[in-house]
Structure 1
Amino acid sequence: MTNTDLLKEKIEDSGYKMKYIASKIGLSYQGFLNKIQNKTDFTAPEIKGLRELLCIPADEAEKIFFAS
């Protein structure tokens, strides 16, 4: 389960628009929203892309993408 609040904070800090981020990791805007809202799960390549684009260190990625 994704920690939506932490991910949104990282997105806001990046200065990137959500549509831009979605396109960079190969998702439609709606598909990206579905994943942020925990309707569907992020895949490993999507997580990797987000980590690189948003400069998310491994320990933060664990908290964001693998929240319980």
Structure 2
Amino acid sequence: MTKSNLLREKIDGCGFKLVFVAKQLGISYQAFLKKLNNETEFKTSEVMILKELLHLTDDEVMEIFFGQNVD
């Protein structure tokens, strides 16, 4: 389950709009909202795009998308 609040914080921190992020992922705004609301899951390719777009560390990726911190 995605920690949507952390993902939204990262998106806001970068100054991006959700519509822009959805376009970068190649999905509709509605599809992106479903992923943020944990109705559907992010694909691995989408996680990798978000990692690069939002400058996420490996630890942040694990925490946001896989619900764990890596030591």
* TM-score with structure 2 setting the length: 0.92
- The alignment covers a number of residue pairs equal to 68
1:60 corresponds to 2:60: yes
Larger Rg: 2
CA deviations over 1:23-50 (Å, ceiling 9, x no partner): 0011100000000000000000000000
C-alpha displacement of 1:52 = 0.5
Query: What RMSD over aligned residues (CA atoms) do the two structures have, in Å?
Result: 1.0
1:15 matched to 2:22: no
- CA–CA distance in 2 between the matches of 1:29 and 1:67? 24
Matched, 1:4 2:25: no
Which runs of 5 or more structure 2 residues have no equivalent in the other structure? none
Question: Unpaired runs of 5+ in structure 1?
Answer: none
Deviation per residue, 1:8-67 (Å, 9 max, x gap): 100110101110000001110000000000000000000000001010110010000012
Identity of aligned residues (%): 44
CA–CA distance in structure 2, aligned partners of residues 54 and 33 of structure 1: 17
Q: 1:36-51 maps to which residues of 2 (within 5 A)?
A: 36-51=36-51
Amino acid across the alignment from 1:57: T
